[in-house]
Amino acid sequence: MAATPWLGLDTSLAIAGGVAAGFVVAWLMARHHRQRAEADARSLVEIARREAEVSKQELLAQAQIEIDRRRAELDREARARELEIEARLREIRAHEESIGDLDDELARREEKIEREQGAVKQAREAVRNLSKNLRLTMEKLAGMNADEVRENLRDQVRQEAQDELRALRKEILERSEREIQDESRRIIVAAMQRLTSKPTNDLTSTIVQLPNDDMKGRIIGREGRNIKCFEAATGTTLLIDESPQMVLISSFDPVRRHIAKTALERLIADGRIHPATIEDFVRLAREETDSIVRASGEETVERLHITGVTPEVASLLGKLKFRFSYTQNVLDHSVEVALLCSMIASELKLDPAVAKRAGLFHDIGKAVDGEYEGSHARIGAELLKRAGEDPVVVNAVAAHHEEVKPESVYAGIVILADTISAIRPGARAESLTSYIERLERLEKLATAIPGVQSAYAIQAGREIRVLVRPDLVSDERAALLARELRHRIEDELQYPSTIKVTVIREQRFVETAT
């Protein structure tokens, strides 16, 4: 019975130990679950962060795509607006030229009326002189005998016959000159109406677009070896600046620029850019360009039905496909001149084949490399002479800029057709900015002269009309002012064709009756 309390104490201690052990186990399990929960939470946070990063990248990519699309749309809209502005500018020029033609027609009619009024005045004066001479003659006859009267009448008849002969000769010469001018005008207008040409020509682009800016580094290569190899192989210069995804090819030779452009585009598309592939692609581009040059020359000769052209001359013609003069393609210009020459020669009852041949070859000297000295007209004539061309054609080519004396009418036809093709409206385009600057400079030159009230450039800058103050500028001074302005334009401006200067001095007196 005495052992019972100890038994109860042991039991209590056992229970307490079990409770403590259970508490420890529960605490350990709770800490384990908490650590596991924290690890799961960190994992979930990391997963959420990664998903957020991926979503951010996708949103950025979509935003960049949208920005590129919007930028492309804006570029297209800007280009469309530029084309619309250029079209409206051409319409304005056409209207200005029409107004100028009407002004010229009005001026010619005014001159005709003035000439007719002068003729009427001369006729009246002649009648008065005739009446006066008749009265004097009658007075003389009253004191003469028959022989003296006959001699006097003979002298008068001889004098009148000589006057009539001179007047008749003058009338015949003026009428012949007028008929020649009318016939030449008719021939030129008929030839221009029969020919249909493109209004403007665009220059070949020397800019190569890149897929990304990383491609610039691959084009340059390690220590610049790729770009050096490319420039040495093509004879051009690559300009790589801060412009995004763009490389500019620079060279004075348009054929080399075309070869370099073709080779670089193929290198970018292929992706393998190193000296060996550069040389291969440049060689292939050069062979392709040579084929294009030969094909263009042969196609032009065949299209114009010109025979007996050597392969060398045809190849030089093909090179003109890559040359431009004031944005006018030289090959298209040569074909246009050839057709104009043929039409004008046909109207004049001359050989159209000879004229067409001379017109086609007139600018062939522009295709020759720079090692030849002299103007393109002389160089082209020398090459044609060595190729066995007709001396008439050779002289027409050499004389089309009047550096050599024309020896046949075919040279004059080539000069005329070359001028028509170069100055016709729309043949040689210029930007809106340069066009406006040229007109402003033309008007400022006029307004800078003392006594000028205002100046207006019309007919696309081919004529300027100057209004002077009549109280400061006399009629004699107005004539001198027109000559002074002409000299200033010739010395300070560069302009196509000619510029007509018209000085207007006008006085107006206005009264109002009430």
pLDDT for 3 equals 47
Same domain flag for 410 and 474? no
Per residue in 112-139, pLDDT tens?
888 888 888 888 888 788 777 776 766 6
Short-list 446, 457, 460, CA closest to 488: 446
Same domain flag for 184 and 116? yes
Query: Is pLDDT of 366 > 80?
Result: yes
Same domain flag for 335 and 410? yes
pLDDT for 173 equals 65
Q: Tell me if 207 sits within 8 A of 260, measured CB to CB.
A: no
pLDDT for 178 equals 66
CATH of the domain at 229: 3.30.1370.10
Q: Residue 236, exposed/middle/buried by CB under 10 A (0-12, 13-18, 19+)?
A: buried
Reported confidence tier of residue 105, pLDDT bands at 50, 70, 90 = confident
Residue that finishes a domain, picked among 256, 275, 292: 292
Tell me which of 47-56, 239-248, 304-313 is least confident. 239-248
Residue that finishes a domain, picked among 292, 327, 353: 292
Average pLDDT over residues 196-207: 51
Q: Tell me if 415 sits within 8 A of 407, measured CB to CB.
A: no
Per residue in 466-514, pLDDT tens?
999 988 888 888 889 999 998 888 888 776 557 889 999 887 777 878 7
Average pLDDT over residues 8-14: 75
pLDDT for 202 equals 42
Paired with 465 in beta bridges are 456, 502
Query: Is pLDDT of 431 > 70?
Result: no
pLDDT for 200 equals 45
Per residue in 43-68, pLDDT tens?
888 888 888 888 888 888 888 898 98
Same domain flag for 120 and 188? yes
Q: What domain count does the chain have?
A: 5
Domain boundaries, position 446: 432-505
Q: Kindly state whether residue 84 falls inside one of the protein's structural domains.
A: yes
Q: Kindly state whether residue 200 falls inside one of the protein's structural domains.
A: no
CATH of the domain at 456: 3.30.70.1350
* Share above pLDDT 70 across residues of the chain, in percent, rounded to a whole number: 84
Query: Is pLDDT of 195 > 50?
Result: yes
Phi, then psi, of 324 in degrees rounded to 5: -130, 145
What is each CA distance from 442 to 91, 183, 422, in whole angstroms?
A: 21, 35, 21
Reported confidence tier of residue 374, pLDDT bands at 50, 70, 90 = confident
Per residue in 148-161, pLDDT tens?
767 777 777 777 77
- Label residues 500-512 b or e (16+ Cβ within 10 Å = b): ebebebeeeeeee
Same domain flag for 326 and 416? yes
Same domain flag for 416 and 326? yes
pLDDT for 401 equals 81
Q: Kindly state whether residue 248 falls inside one of the protein's structural domains.
A: yes
Residue that finishes a domain, picked among 110, 134, 165: 110
pLDDT for 418 equals 84
Q: Kindly state whether residue 9 falls inside one of the protein's structural domains.
A: no
Query: Is pLDDT of 285 > 50?
Result: yes
Q: Kindly state whether residue 513 falls inside one of the protein's structural domains.
A: no
Average pLDDT over residues 264-285: 86
CA distance 178 to 169: 14
Give me the residue label for tokens 């992706």.
271
Same domain flag for 323 and 406? yes
Higher per-residue pLDDT: 135 or 16: 16
Query: Is pLDDT of 430 > 80?
Result: no
Q: Tell me if 316 sits within 8 A of 364, measured CB to CB.
A: yes
DSSP assignment of 104-150 equals: HHHHHHHHHHHHHHHHHHHHHHHHHHHHHHHHHHHHHHTT--HHHHH
Q: Residue 357, exposed/middle/buried by CB under 10 A (0-12, 13-18, 19+)?
A: buried
Q: Kindly state whether residue 54 falls inside one of the protein's structural domains.
A: yes
pLDDT for 467 equals 92
Relative to beta strand 463-468, strand 500-505 is parallel
What is each CA distance from 116 to 106, 113, 125, 129, 130, in whole angstroms?
A: 15, 5, 14, 20, 21
Q: Tell me if 414 sits within 8 A of 358, measured CB to CB.
A: yes
pLDDT for 232 equals 87
Same domain flag for 220 and 275? yes
Per residue in 165-187, pLDDT tens?
777 677 666 666 666 666 666 66
Same domain flag for 116 and 94? no
- Count CB atoms within 10 A of the CB of residue 352: 19
Same domain flag for 139 and 103? no
Same domain flag for 106 and 120? no
Same domain flag for 333 and 398? yes
Query: Is pLDDT of 221 > 60?
Result: yes
Q: Which residues fall within 8 angstroms of residue 426, CB to CB, at 6 or more apart?
A: 90, 199, 200
CA distance 318 to 299: 9
Q: What is the mean pLDDT of the chain?
A: 80
CATH of the domain at 401: 1.10.3210.10
